Structure 1
Amino acid sequence: MVLNARVTDYDVVRVFCGPRAGHGNELGVVREGSTLPDPADRQEFAAKLGFSETVFVDDPERGVIDIYTPTSRLPFAGHPCVGAAWLLDVPELVTPAGVVGARLDGEFTWIEARPEWAPPRTLRRYASAAEVDALQVPPPGVGAPPTPFGQWGRIYAWAWEDEAAGRVRARAFPGRDDGMDEDEATGAAALLLTARLGRALNIVQGAGSQILTAPQPGGRVEVGGRVLLERRPLRR
C-alpha cells in the first residue's frame, strides 16, 4: 500500500477548548480527501497520524466528510463534526449516518445531530463531581458489552456540579486497545446524555474541555464548543 505524498497536507484543530483556549481534543482534517480515496489507505493514514479521529473532506462545498479513528471508520462522531464545521464554514455536513446541521455563533461552533447516530456507550452517573474526578481508568472492555463500533465509547462517567444550572462534570473512558485510556472531549457522549436528560447542559470533561448542548425539535440535539487552529497544512 502506497500513500500519496500530497496527503501530508492536513490541518490540526483543537475542538471543545475551555474558556481560556486550553484543553479540547486534537483533530486531523485532510481537506483534499481526493488525494486518498481508498478507505484502506485512509485508515492507514489515520493510524499514522494517531489522533483520536481524522476527517477526510470529500466535498468542501457540500460538507461531505469521512471520519476515522486509528482503528476504525465511524459513521458519525461529535468533535470531528464540530471541528470540520468550523474549518469548512458550511451550513451542514454530510456523513454516512446522515446530514448534520452546522452553524457558527460567536466563539462557539454548533452541530445538530440525532442521538441514535452516536456510538453506544454506558452513561454512568456518580453522586458528585469529586467522585468523577477520583475515578481510575478501567481496563479495556469493562463496563459495557461489545458493540458494532468495537471498543469505542464504552463508559461516560458523569455527575451534576450544579443540577439547577445544568452544569455537569464528566470523563470518558473509551476502553480502546490503541493506547487511548481517556477521551478529553466527547461530543457524541454529550449528545447521548442530553437526549437522556432532556435538557441543555454545560459539560466540563477531562482536564477542562467545555461542551455545550441543547435539545432540539424532532429528537435532535445541538452540541457546541470552541475550536482553535493548531497547525495549517504543509504544502509540498
Structure 2
Amino acid sequence: MNARVTDYDVLRVFCAPNGGYGNELGVVRDGSVLPERDARQEFAAKLGFSETVFVDDPERGVIDIYTPTLRLPFAGHPCVGTAWLLDVPELVTAAGVVGARLDGEFSWIEARPEWAPPRTLRQYPTAAEVDALPVPPQGEWVYAWAWEDEAAGRVRARAFPGRDDGIDEDEATGAAALLLTDRLGRALNIRQGKGSQLLTAPQPEGWVEVGGRVVLERRPER
C-alpha cells in the first residue's frame, strides 16, 4: 500500500453547539494514491471509521465513500463533512449530484431520500426509551427515534448499523435523518448518539437538506 495514503484528514461531523461529539470521518484528499476499489476498501477497514471518503476531483467535488466493509453510493455525514472541507457548491457521488452550501456555523447538503441505503425507522413512545435501548442483534439497520418535543420538531435518535464491522452504534447519520425527514414531511432538530446535532428540512420536488457543524480533528502530518 502506498505510504502517501497516510495523508488523510479526520473530521467530526454533526457536532454539538459546544463543538463536542459528532461522528468521525476520514477523508483522503488525494484519491489517486489508492485508485482501486479493493485498496480503498482495505484502507477504510484499517481506519475503522463509520465512513471514509476518497476525493477523486477536489474542484468538481467527485468523491467515493466506504464503510469498513462496503462501498456506499451516498451517505450523509461523509457528504456534509467533505463539502465543508472542500468548500464546493456540489459533490458528485455514485448516487448523483449532491448540492452543498455553508451557512454560518452549519454545513448543508441537499440530497434525495431514494439515494439513502435502506434503514428501519423505528419510533418509540419516549426519548427515555430510546436512551435505554441495548444494541440490537446484527442484520437489521435500525434508526430508533422518539419525539422530545413534537411541536418544535425536536427528535431523540440512535442508530444501529447491524453490521459485523465493529461499529455497534453510529454517533450521527445524515442518511437516516434524511429518510426520517422525508417520512414526516417536516423540518427536524435531531439529537443523536451521545450528543450530536443534525438539522434537516424538506425541499421542493422531493429533495431534503441535512446540515450540521463540522470540526477538523486533525490534519495529516507533513
- TM-score, with normalisation over the residues of structure 1? 0.93
Correspondent of 1:222 among 204, 209, 215: 209
Give the drift of 1:178.
1.1
Q: What code does the residue aligned with 2:200 have?
A: T
Give the drift of 1:114.
0.1
Q: Is the CA contact 1:10–1:234 (under 8 Å) kept in the aligned structure 2?
A: no
Correspondent of 1:34 among 32, 35, 43: 32
Distance 1:39 1:181 in 2: 25
Distance 1:179 1:41 in 2: 20
Q: What code does the residue aligned with 1:25 have?
A: N
Distance 2:218 2:103 in 1: 23
Say if 2:172 is the partner of 1:174.
no
CA-atom RMSD, angstroms? 0.6
Gaps of 5+ in 2: none
Q: What code does the residue aligned with 1:86 have?
A: W
Distance 2:221 2:70 in 1: 25
Aligned partner of 1:137 in structure 2 is 135
Distance 1:90 1:233 in 2: 21
Distance 1:179 1:64 in 2: 28
- 1:23-64 alpha-carbon deviations (Å, 9 max, x no partner): 110000000001110111101111111111000000000000
Q: Is the CA contact 1:203–1:210 (under 8 Å) kept in the aligned structure 2?
A: yes
Distance 1:211 1:74 in 2: 20
Give the drift of 1:112.
0.2
Distance 1:72 1:135 in 2: 26
Say if 2:7 is the partner of 1:20.
no
Give the drift of 1:139.
1.2
- 1:116-167 alpha-carbon deviations (Å, 9 max, x no partner): 00000100001111111111111112xx4xxxxxxxxx10000000001000
Aligned partner of 1:191 in structure 2 is 178
Q: What code does the residue aligned with 2:49 have?
A: F
Say if 2:117 is the partner of 1:119.
yes
Correspondent of 1:204 among 165, 186, 191: 191
- 1:200-231 alpha-carbon deviations (Å, 9 max, x no partner): 00000010000000000110000000000000
For this pair of structures, how many residues does the alignment match?
Answer: 222
Correspondent of 2:41 among 15, 40, 43: 43
Distance 1:130 1:50 in 2: 30
Give the drift of 1:234.
2.2
Aligned partner of 2:220 in structure 1 is 233
Distance 1:38 1:6 in 2: 15
- TM-score, with normalisation over the residues of structure 2? 0.99
Gaps of 5+ in 1: 145-153
Distance 1:40 1:136 in 2: 33
What are the residue-to-residue correspondences of 1:4-153 with 2, within 5 Å? 4-141=2-139, 144=140
